[in-house]
Structure formats: structure tokens, C-alpha cells
Chains A and B, each alone.
Chain A
């Protein structure tokens, strides 16, 4: 039998880079094509977020340079606010650090690994530092080469230079050298990713220079810069025990009661009194030995009969008083068990729906602009539903855009987004795909969806999007979300139907008109023989007659549709 000391010889603290290497898939670095897309995604997302927060219309340029076999340089440059010198190491060097991860806020990325992950990826594939050039618009630009100290999980500036900035340039340019990746114009590639990003962010001007030097521009189609999302306090129905426990440790409030009222939404002083009763009731129910009786009591509690439940126990006031004491103690003294009790009670209580002011939909107008600008369809419509709640307390919102015809090629295309971020993988299991496929498109005059020139975009917004896996590329099939998506699609599809039936009517009119026109030369020749009138003159009489009749008819049609 081996000694413990023997076994522990192999024990090492895993470094961040080691963790990263092992869990690359979780962060999106899997596959040669996807890895490159992920690098671009992290940089572009940062740029968009920065511009939004600063109220600047984004101008983003992505350049992919081929340096060798599966060896590229990725350059992303923006006109954002720039990065102050002292934050450069934090932004690029430290994982799990950022401005958002610790806040309850809708965000493009979620864990704050983003760009530092990209820096790390560059470093472990090419060994090169990431070059950052940035200026906040002052008289200096900073050029820095950033690496990550994988053991300490810290950013390290390898080299730094300052340059004069005579033209007052402001923005950030980063250059990452990556290996083991490949550039292909596929549906998982950079091109497609940027195209989808451009559609969902019509306020951004995005350019791409491909390895062969080809410049692709996705121009800005909207002047409106979306407001940055605001932080929302968590809703009691959407939290886990761990959330409550950890928040209690960090809070500056001095009692549990003040902590709950102050740091959650929809909790008032009155709700705390209710909470105490519910916790007490739950404690008492747990003392009941008869399982059937217990079950009934839970049911009554669910119905809100908390007072009646309490009264059915002798000496219940004592328990209530005990629970009330929890509310008065300092939050850092809150035990795990107590946090558990609070969260359990939350499940039985009724709360107002969570606030939704933190959700930032793209908006119908901007979706339409985005689809129109990039896809050049003949018809476009968008639906932004009002916010809803899933799992009892997590607010979410669904919006869809529908584009038809024009330069769109045949074949149905579904563009999926979560918080405006394009989802490129795992389409099959995504709730958006399921919802889109569950629609009976024939009802909306789309007879063969798989051949129709239809692009459907779906954006699911939430402070907490329920992804199916760590790859964050597919949204779980949550019933409430699927219903909302379906309703939104059907709403948009109805408008498409109206458009298509109008179009068919018009086509029918054109066809009718042609039916008459094709006979005119024959008629003219015959009438000319019969009457001696000039053939061309007869022809023009007939054509003018047809023209006037159809002009009149069209007028009628328009009136009808306006009245309808």
C-alpha cells in the first residue's frame, strides 16, 4: 500500500492555463474554425460593449492575415472609448474579471473570460504576446504587448511604448497571433459570425478583411445607439441558495431583513413578515409525521393559506418568533441552512413579476433595419414581445425578425441570437429551431419552407439565458420561452402572409393584363382587315384601353386593402 506522501507527490495546483487547456471546449475553443471565430467574437463583443457604454456608434474592423499553415494574425480595431493605461493588464490578462460578471445584468458575454481567454489562446498556440494599441483620445497612444502569467493568473505587460497621438485617435486595436486554426467561409466561420452580428447590431459599422485581401463591409443602417443594459436586482424566484448565501456574505447591509429588502427586487418589509410566516410554516410541516397530512399542508401552503397552516400547529407562535430572529441578525451570520430555508419559502410565496428594465431588446425598428441593410430582402418585419418570466422569476424577452425574397436565396435560414450574440453551433437542439419548425408555415402562404427565400432571426434576451451546455450555443427548451418564440414567429408570419397575398393578387393582375395584351396584335390585324383602320392605331386603342382599366382596378384594390 502506497504511503499518502507518495501519492501526494503527484499533487499539483492546477494552473489557469492548464485548466484552460483542459476546458477549452467550455470557452468555445474547439475545432480549428470555431476557435478562430471565438477569438474574433471576444474582441468584437468587447468593442461593441465598450462603444455602447460610451455612447459611440461602433466602427469595427476585423482583419484576418494568414501567416502560415493554420497560422493567422487576427486584428480587431474599434473606435471605442479606449482603455486607460492602468487597466490594460486587467482587461487582457485576468480571467474571470470584468465589469459585469458579478452583476445581475444582461450581457453579451457572461463569465468575463472573454478577451483574456483569447489572449491566453493566442499565447498557448503561438507563444506570442497580444499587441494592444489604445488611446482614450488624449495626446498619447499606448502600444503594449500583453501576456498572461498562467501560474498567477495575472496579466503581464511584456513591452510597452507610448507614441504621440497628433490626430487625437481614440479606440483600441488588438492583434493576436493564433495557430491551430483555419479560416473558411462557412456557417461557423468569422464571415458568417460578423454578418449575423451586423444584422443584430444595425448601429455598428463592421468591416472584414479576409486572408486573401478581400474587403467585406457590413455598413451601419441605424443611427440609434442602444442604451447599455442596467443592473437589475435579482428576483426572489430566480435565485439559488448559494446566491443568497454569498450575497449575504458580501453585503454592506446590517440585518438579514435589510439585506433581503435592499438587494432583491420585489421584497418589501411586508413581504419579510410573510417570509417569516412561510419559513415557520415549512419548519412545522416538516415535523408532521403523517406523509399524507404533510402533503396536504404543502398544498395548502402553495395556495397561500399560510396563516391557516400555522394555526393548525400548537404553539406555532414560538416558531414564528424564532424565525423572526433570523431577520434581525447580521447577514454575514446567515447560515447555509437558513439561506436554504429562505429560498425554499420563496418558492411558495407570491411576488410581483420581476422588473424588466434591465432587458435591452434590439427593437423592431432596428431588427428591420439590420435585416434590410445586410440581406436586402423585398419584405421585412419584426416583432418584439413584451418581457415574460420563466422558472417563476427569471425575466426574458423574445424578438424575431422575418425577411423574405429580394436578394435572399431560396432555402430557409434561421439566425439565432442570445442577448444579441449570434449562436453558430448546436442549432438542432436549440429551442429556437424547435419553435421555428413547429410552425405550420403553409398557413402563412409559405408552401415549402425549405425552398422559400425566408430568413428568420430569433433573439432571446435574459439576464440568465438557459443554455443547454457550457458551449453556450444552444438555448434549452424551456416551455415559456418556446411559447413566446412561437407567438412572435406567428405574429411576424401573419404579416408575411398579408404581404404575400397582396403580392399574389398583384401578380395575378399582371398575369391577367398580359392575357389581354397578348391578343392585341392578333385583334388589331383582324380589325384592320375588317374596317380598313391602321393596324398600329387599332393596337394603341386597345393597349390604352387595357392600361386605363387596370389603373382603375388597382385603385380599387388599394382602397379595399386600406379599409380592411
Chain B
């Protein structure tokens, strides 16, 4: 039976656009404005888009979570603001040095590098990292610049495996030639260039165990796919990588998670973005991503009834409910992007059956089952959830 490929590479829609001078220009521009204000006897301030649920909305047209236009103004001459105003400038100056010297620092390094006792006081510029991290987020929103573009990185998580060639600084490599472990996705992927992309689509896999299984079964080679392991909730680097591969390289994105509220939430974050990072949705979210599994239908279809697990918490029809998993599922049912027949059916079914199903449950059939039957069948038949 000739394979009629449902999943194909598309035409690229974005170009590689990393430009460190843009960050520097913005930093200098903001610094100059403060200086002009103070010279003119005006109370200098920064306008920072507000974070949090109150300033977030779902953009129906582009189908991503976006940040609203509410601003909070951070003044120098305000007892409640002065410290944060100082901290903002400190981090700005630090970022300028990092970017202009072409160095990267982790969030923790950025914290330690800027922490010191203010002369003549017993006060530190930063008391702990919980003070510096939000300032960095503020800068991202204020400048409209990614943390990664400011050369500030988070802990890396996730890896990829597949026939693509990446240029990372002076190194160039094919991520299917680095052994079974693949290539670990760095904290920042802004500077990466994709030299060659010889795959048809990217399969985003929730657990490392499943990704390892697929690599061992040679799934990437056979199906011409790129495996992206998120290892739980996708890190910013992985999400950005997914976004770039989709928009710059036209790779379709298919997500493979556990059939439970957490897995569905991982999918939702990759697809629509998150509330926390709503301001970055344009760079992190991939609304065209599709979901392959696990679904509630899979249980019946593949006879997995005896490898399901009970949902945690109290169901909505019981006294005290809903709690735990049930509560989360009901919340997800309210998400605008799950407002379609297929997803509502899946979520309702989960509540009704009161079970969850893990990716690894497929091993109940056989170790090869997921790579040889489950995924190829579903993907090539286009049996994907929106």
C-alpha cells in the first residue's frame, strides 16, 4: 500500500531574524529617555505591560493567547517603585554588557552578577532570585524582546533527534548522528540556523521514555520525522524551537502526550501559548500544531482498558467535587481553543470514564507497537485532533 502522506512540509512563513543590535538600540533608547526626563526635572518612569490573567486574552483570529495593552508605570520617585526602578536599570545595563560582548548568562548568573550591598546601607540590590527573574520578564515585555535575545537563558530541558543539520555558532551537526540521546536543546535557540531539514514533520513527545523508545525503534528514520522530547512541560527553548521549525522551515507539528489533563495542557501551551508568557505568544506559540494522542478513543480502539489509571480527585457529580484531575479537565473544557466538537467529546469522555492513559501504556501491546502501528497509522490517516 503506497503511503499517501497526509503530513507534509509546508512553505516557510518566517525568516531567521536574530539581530543583537536591535536589543542594544532598545536598551539605549530607554536609558536615554530616563536621562532626559531627569534632566528636565521630570519623574522618570518605565511603562511595563502588566502581567497576569487580567491582562491576557485569546486572539480568536490568530488563535493564540495574547497580552492586553494594560500598562503599569514604574516611577523612580515613588517609595513603592524606587527599588524596582533601580533593579530594572541594573539588569538593563547588565544585558547591554552581555549582548555587546556576545556572552550568555543564566538567570541565576544574572542574579548573582547584579547582587551586591548598596554602599552605606545594609540593603542588597537583589535579595534573591525571585526579585531578579520578574525584572527580566518585565524587560521582555517592556522591550518586546525575548529573554534569549538578551542573552539570558533558563535551564535547558528537552532534546531533538532527526535528520536535520543545525549550525550553532562554529559547530554544524546533524541531530540524528549524535547517538541515541539526540541533541539537547539549549536555553536559547535564537542564534541557531537550520542548514538542512530532511524531515517531513516534527513529533513533539511529552516523555523522554517515549522519545527514547521511538528512537530505538528507528521511528524517525522510517517515518522521516523529527522527534522533539519536551520532558514534561515544554521549556521556552523547545517551544521557540518548535515555533521556528514550523514557521521558518514549514514543518508540521504533531504533539504526542499522555491522555490526561497535564498532557493536554502541555499541548495547549505549545499551541496557544501560556498566560505567563502571553506577551511572547507570537514567538513561542504554534497554533497550527495538531494532537495525535493519547485520546480517550484510543482506549477502546486499541483495547487498553486494563492499563488505564484512575483520575485523581472527586468527580463533579460527587459531594465535594470536582477536585484534582476532574477540576482541571473541566477548566480545560472552558478554554476557547478547546471549544470544538472533538475536544469537548474527549474531555467529557475522560470525566465520564474517570480514567487517564499514559503514552507508555501502549507497551502493553508490545514495545514496537507505538512506533510501528499506533503512530504511523494515526498520523498517516490524519486522525489528529485540532
B272 near A: Cβ within 8 Å?
no
A512 near B: Cβ within 8 Å?
yes
Taking a contact as CB atoms closer than 8 A, the residue among A512, A526, A541, A549 that contacts B90 in the complex is A526
On whether the beta carbons of B31 and A522 are closer than 8 Å, the reply is: no
B86 near A: Cβ within 8 Å?
yes
B120 near A: Cβ within 8 Å?
yes
**Which residues from B are CB-within-8-Å of A521?**
118-119
B297 near A: Cβ within 8 Å?
no
> In whole Å, how far is B78's beta carbon from the nearest beta carbon of chain A?
9
A527 in contact with B89 given A518-B120, A542-B38 (CB within 8 Å): yes
User: Once bound together, how far apart are the Cα atoms of A529 and B97, in whole Å?
Assistant: 8
A533 near B: Cβ within 8 Å?
yes
**Which residues from B are CB-within-8-Å of A515?**
79, 82
**Which residues from A are CB-within-8-Å of B121?**
518
User: Once bound together, how far apart are the Cα atoms of A458 and B56, in whole Å?
Assistant: 68
Taking a contact as CB atoms closer than 8 A, the residue among B28, B30, B82 that contacts A519 in the complex is B82
Taking a contact as CB atoms closer than 8 A, the residue among A512, A523, A526 that contacts B79 in the complex is A512
> In whole Å, how far is B214's beta carbon from the nearest beta carbon of chain A?
48
Taking a contact as CB atoms closer than 8 A, the residue among B76, B90, B97 that contacts A516 in the complex is B76
Question: Which of A516, A523, A527 has the most B CB atoms < 10 Å from its CB?
Answer: A523
User: Once bound together, how far apart are the Cα atoms of A548 and B90, in whole Å?
Assistant: 25
Taking a contact as CB atoms closer than 8 A, the residue among A526, A530, A545 that contacts B38 in the complex is A545
Q: Mark B16-51, 1 if CB is under 8 A from A, else 0.
A: 000000000001101110110011010100000000
Taking a contact as CB atoms closer than 8 A, the residue among B32, B77, B90 that contacts A531 in the complex is B32
Residue of B nearest to A533 (CB): B35
**Which residues from A are CB-within-8-Å of B101?**
none
> In whole Å, how far is B111's beta carbon from the nearest beta carbon of chain A?
15
Q: Mark B344-383, 1 if CB is under 8 A from A, else 0.
A: 0000000000000000000000000000000000000000
On whether the beta carbons of A522 and B79 are closer than 8 Å, the reply is: no
Interface size class of A (residues with CB under 8 A): 20 to 34
A205 near B: Cβ within 8 Å?
no
User: Once bound together, how far apart are the Cα atoms of A456 and B28, in whole Å?
Assistant: 62
A525 near B: Cβ within 8 Å?
yes
**Which residues from A are CB-within-8-Å of B85?**
519, 523
> In whole Å, how far is B36's beta carbon from the nearest beta carbon of chain A?
10
User: Once bound together, how far apart are the Cα atoms of A533 and B38, in whole Å?
Assistant: 13
> In whole Å, how far is B87's beta carbon from the nearest beta carbon of chain A?
9
B145 near A: Cβ within 8 Å?
no
On whether the beta carbons of B79 and A541 are closer than 8 Å, the reply is: no
On whether the beta carbons of B79 and A527 are closer than 8 Å, the reply is: no
B93 near A: Cβ within 8 Å?
yes
B125 near A: Cβ within 8 Å?
yes
On whether the beta carbons of B31 and A527 are closer than 8 Å, the reply is: yes
On whether the beta carbons of A549 and B77 are closer than 8 Å, the reply is: yes
**Which residues 139-182 of B have a CB within 8 angstroms of A?**
none
- A-B interface contact total, Cβ < 8 Å: 70
On whether the beta carbons of A541 and B93 are closer than 8 Å, the reply is: no
> In whole Å, how far is B340's beta carbon from the nearest beta carbon of chain A?
48
A546 near B: Cβ within 8 Å?
yes
User: Once bound together, how far apart are the Cα atoms of A527 and B28, in whole Å?
Assistant: 9
A374 near B: Cβ within 8 Å?
no
A261 near B: Cβ within 8 Å?
no
A530 in contact with B77 given A519-B82, A522-B125, A541-B38 (CB within 8 Å): no
On whether the beta carbons of B86 and A522 are closer than 8 Å, the reply is: yes
Interface size class of B (residues with CB under 8 A): 20 to 34
User: Once bound together, how far apart are the Cα atoms of A97 and B43, in whole Å?
Assistant: 80
Taking a contact as CB atoms closer than 8 A, the residue among B35, B43, B97, B125 that contacts A527 in the complex is B35
On whether the beta carbons of B31 and A530 are closer than 8 Å, the reply is: yes
On whether the beta carbons of B93 and A529 are closer than 8 Å, the reply is: yes
A538 near B: Cβ within 8 Å?
yes
A518 in contact with B92 given A530-B27, A531-B32, A541-B38 (CB within 8 Å): no
B123 near A: Cβ within 8 Å?
yes
On whether the beta carbons of A519 and B86 are closer than 8 Å, the reply is: yes
User: Once bound together, how far apart are the Cα atoms of A527 and B32, in whole Å?
Assistant: 8
**Which residues from A are CB-within-8-Å of B86?**
519, 522-523, 526
B74 near A: Cβ within 8 Å?
no
**Which residues from A are CB-within-8-Å of B328?**
none
On whether the beta carbons of B118 and A523 are closer than 8 Å, the reply is: no
User: Once bound together, how far apart are the Cα atoms of A525 and B196, in whole Å?
Assistant: 45
On whether the beta carbons of B118 and A518 are closer than 8 Å, the reply is: yes
B96 near A: Cβ within 8 Å?
yes
User: Once bound together, how far apart are the Cα atoms of A532 and B119, in whole Å?
Assistant: 22
Residue of B nearest to A522 (CB): B86
User: Once bound together, how far apart are the Cα atoms of A523 and B27, in whole Å?
Assistant: 14
A525 in contact with B93 given A512-B79, A519-B83 (CB within 8 Å): yes
A516 in contact with B82 given A529-B96, A531-B31 (CB within 8 Å): yes
Residue of A nearest to B116 (CB): A522
On whether the beta carbons of B34 and A527 are closer than 8 Å, the reply is: yes
**Which residues from A are CB-within-8-Å of B32?**
530-531
User: Once bound together, how far apart are the Cα atoms of A516 and B89, in whole Å?
Assistant: 14
Q: Mark A481-516, 1 if CB is under 8 A from B, else 0.
A: 000000000000000000000000000000010011
User: Once bound together, how far apart are the Cα atoms of A542 and B35, in whole Å?
Assistant: 9
On whether the beta carbons of B118 and A519 are closer than 8 Å, the reply is: yes
A530 in contact with B79 given A522-B118, A541-B39, A548-B41 (CB within 8 Å): no
**Which residues 255-290 of B have a CB within 8 angstroms of A?**
none
> In whole Å, how far is B108's beta carbon from the nearest beta carbon of chain A?
20
On whether the beta carbons of A530 and B89 are closer than 8 Å, the reply is: yes
Taking a contact as CB atoms closer than 8 A, the residue among A533, A541, A546 that contacts B77 in the complex is A546
On whether the beta carbons of A545 and B34 are closer than 8 Å, the reply is: no
User: Once bound together, how far apart are the Cα atoms of A512 and B79, in whole Å?
Assistant: 7
A530 in contact with B39 given A516-B76, A522-B86 (CB within 8 Å): no
User: Once bound together, how far apart are the Cα atoms of A523 and B75, in whole Å?
Assistant: 13
Taking a contact as CB atoms closer than 8 A, the residue among A512, A516, A518, A526 that contacts B123 in the complex is A518
Question: Which of B27, B85, B90, B125 has the most A CB atoms < 10 Å from its CB?
Answer: B90
Residue of A nearest to B100 (CB): A529
On whether the beta carbons of B125 and A530 are closer than 8 Å, the reply is: no
A522 in contact with B90 given A512-B79, A516-B76 (CB within 8 Å): yes
> In whole Å, how far is B256's beta carbon from the nearest beta carbon of chain A?
45
Residue of A nearest to B91 (CB): A526
User: Once bound together, how far apart are the Cα atoms of A548 and B86, in whole Å?
Assistant: 20
User: Once bound together, how far apart are the Cα atoms of A444 and B27, in whole Å?
Assistant: 52
On whether the beta carbons of B118 and A530 are closer than 8 Å, the reply is: no
**Which residues from A are CB-within-8-Å of B89?**
522-523, 526-527, 530
User: Once bound together, how far apart are the Cα atoms of A129 and B86, in whole Å?
Assistant: 82
21 contacts between A and B (CB under 8 A): A512-B79, A518-B123, A519-B85, A522-B90, A522-B118, A523-B86, A523-B89, A526-B86, A526-B89, A526-B90, A526-B92, A526-B93, A527-B31, A527-B34, A527-B35, A529-B97, A530-B28, A530-B32, A531-B35, A545-B77, A549-B77
Which 8 residue pairs of A and B lie closest in terms of their CB atoms, listed nearest first? A530-B31, A529-B93, A526-B89, A526-B93, A519-B86, A531-B31, A541-B38, A526-B90
Chain A positions near chain B (C-beta within 8 angstroms): 512, 515-516, 518-519, 521-523, 525-527, 529-531, 533, 538, 541-542, 545-546, 548-549
Chain B positions near chain A (C-beta within 8 angstroms): 27-28, 30-32, 34-35, 38-39, 41, 43, 76-77, 79, 82-83, 85-86, 89-90, 92-93, 96-97, 118-121, 123, 125
**17 new A-B contacts at CB < 8 Å, known A522-B118, A526-B89, A529-B93:** A512-B79, A515-B79, A519-B85, A521-B119, A522-B125, A523-B86, A523-B89, A526-B31, A526-B90, A527-B31, A530-B31, A530-B96, A531-B28, A531-B31, A531-B32, A531-B35, A538-B38
